[in-house]
Chain A
Amino acid sequence: AQKVTQAQTEISVVEKEDVTLDCVYETRDTTYYLFWYKQPPSGELVFLIRRNSFDEQNEISGRYSWNFQKSTSSFNFTITASQVVDSAVYFCALSESNRGAQKLVFGQGTRLTINP
């Protein structure tokens, strides 16, 4: 069965610090997708990034960067120079395909608090 583990339940840092959120996954599929979603205090789920299993290039988007390492089954997320607006719960998810549908398996989430 597929599994996603976000071992960090809560992280608290001071603004402008860099912070890394860990995500470790388990799957027997050779083709799969990994995702990160953000859930701000308002409650909606915001898509951040999708990465497929064949693409191990790291990605950077502004202050956000993602490190995908297939050898360690990890897909970590780093926020550089954190800001208060980054405070949210972040979820890592793994897709399982069935009849074309991509069923997502989520980690438990990491609550990130950025203090001014």
Chain B
Amino acid sequence: DAGITQSPRHKVTETGTPVTLRCHQTENHRYMYWYRQDPGHGLRLIHYSYGVKDTDKGEVSDGYSVSRSKTEDFLLTLESATSSQTSVYFCATSFGQNPNTQYFGPGTRLTVL
């Protein structure tokens, strides 16, 4: 358990509105990740961070941006939400390089109407 919290846990929003999801960790882990989970796709990586202000794109980054201004927080922003972004979003963290097990937060269920 890496002491990861996500907020909000549930959100319903309308198409075209901006949405920010927050991931907060208390373990001083260097690496943080955002995934989305959709039926039939498992989990897919959106963005990840390898340090403060250092981020990179994952497999499904279009329509998403991230920011990491301090070690403990990793924000995921949907600039203009679309219905295709309805999903469950998971944050994960890991301590260091190999071996590097990721521990996941509880998830945020986002519905875009």
Contacts and interface: CB of A to CB of B under 8 A. Distances in A.
Given A98-B56, A99-B50, A104 B43 contact: yes
Contact of B101 (A47, A98, A103, A105): A47
Interface in A18-46: 31, 33, 35, 37, 43-45
B42 to A, nearest CB: 4
Interface size, B (range): 20 to 34
B99 A50 contact: yes
A78 to B, nearest CB: 20
A113 interface: no
Interface residues of A, number: 28
A44 B104 contact: yes
A52 B31 contact: no
A45 to B, nearest CB: 4
**B interface, by DSSP: helix, strand, loop or mixed?**
strand
Q: Which of B40, B42, B56 has most chain A Cβ within 10 Å?
A: B42
**A interface, by DSSP: helix, strand, loop or mixed?**
strand
B50 A91 contact: no
Contacts of A44: 104, 106-107
Interface of A: 4, 6, 31, 33, 35, 37, 43-45, 47, 50, 52, 91, 93, 95, 97-109
